[in-house]
């Protein structure tokens, strides 16, 4: 299987109930196939500066924003494939650079600066990592994903993410996929990823079910919780109350 390293596409997000998910899949079943991975657990380490510059800027909804992360599908071992990614978004279009490497190589790169190779994509990623002076792993996020693609357009993908969870300790992909939930058990995040306009069969199904795009950032939601708890902790400290 060829691993894609460069992406350019639009992505739309929707928050659905699990009942809506079942009904939508029923309506579009004849047009889609399950992804080759079927059900998977996506695990990501998000990199940021010590003042969370990247996610703060992203939440301001600028014309241009970017994220840096290390991703795996399931909990990796030292010789498992992981993906170092630079995800940019400009005027609603997503551009992604991805480098595949072993977890051991990723750890050597992050700890000692040893690049696994001198490819163009690796140089781009390395430049971005060095541009942000205090960049380091800040948040781990995992979720259980079910993915599908269109029978007539393999670039059209529909994914459903459940059990979205995060942690700010043990920031190592090999430490497991546990974390605190940040999405209610009865909800999921649907993402529609396409190179061109959505097909009529999909837009009609969404319109009939009154499903409209929304905004939900997994990392952004985790960051808001982190900041909220910092403020509560500081408030307790200033008030002279013992902190939990």
Buried b (16+ CB within 10 A) or exposed e, 55-75: beebbeeeeebbbbbbbbeeb
Is 38's pLDDT higher than 80?
A: no
Chain segment 86-128, per-residue pLDDT in tens? 999 988 888 899 999 999 999 999 999 999 999 999 999 999 9
Contact 95, 122 (CB under 8 A): no
Q: Which residue, chain included where needed, has tokens 């950032």? A: 217
How far apart CA 45 and CA 75 sit, in angstroms, is 12
Separation of first and last alpha carbons in the chain: 50
Domains annotated for the chain, with CATH where assigned, are 6-238 (3.20.100.30)
Chain segment 138-185, per-residue pLDDT in tens? 999 999 999 999 999 988 999 999 999 999 999 999 999 999 999 999
pLDDT value of position 243: 41
Q: In the structure, what pLDDT confidence band is assigned to residue 8 with cuts at 50, 70 and 90?
A: confident
Contact 40, 238 (CB under 8 A): no
Chain segment 39-80, per-residue pLDDT in tens? 899 999 999 999 999 999 999 989 999 999 999 999 999 999
195 or 137, greater pLDDT: 137
């Amino acid at each position: 299987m060829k691993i894609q390293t460069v992406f350019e596409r639009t992505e739309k997000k929707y928050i659905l109930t699990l009942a809506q998910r079942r009904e939508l899949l029923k309506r579009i079943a004849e047009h889609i196939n399950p992804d080759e991975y079927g059900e998977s657990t996506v695990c990501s380490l998000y990199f940021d500066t010590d003042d969370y510059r990247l996610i703060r800027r992203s939440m301001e909804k600028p014309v241009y924003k970017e994220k840096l992360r290390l991703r795996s599908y399931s909990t990796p071992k030292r010789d498992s494939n992981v993906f170092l990614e630079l995800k940019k978004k400009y005027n609603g279009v997503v551009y992604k650079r991805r480098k595949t490497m072993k977890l051991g190589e990723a750890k050597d790169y992050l700890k000692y600066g040893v690049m696994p190779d001198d490819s163009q994509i690796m140089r781009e990623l390395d430049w971005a990592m060095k541009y942000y002076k205090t960049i380091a792993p800040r948040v781990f996020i995992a979720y259980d994903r079910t993915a599908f693609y269109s029978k007539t357009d393999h670039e059209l993908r529909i994914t459903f993410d459940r059990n979205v969870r995060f942690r700010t300790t043990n920031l190592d992909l090999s430490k497991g996929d546990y974390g605190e939930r940040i999405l209610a058990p009865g909800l999921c995040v649907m993402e529609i990823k396409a190179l061109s306009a959505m097909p009529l069969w999909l837009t009609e199904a969404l319109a009939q079910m009154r499903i409209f795009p929304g905004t939900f950032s997994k990392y952004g939601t985790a960051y808001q919780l982190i900041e909220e708890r910092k403020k509560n902790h500081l408030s307790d400290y200033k008030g002279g109350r013992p902190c939990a």
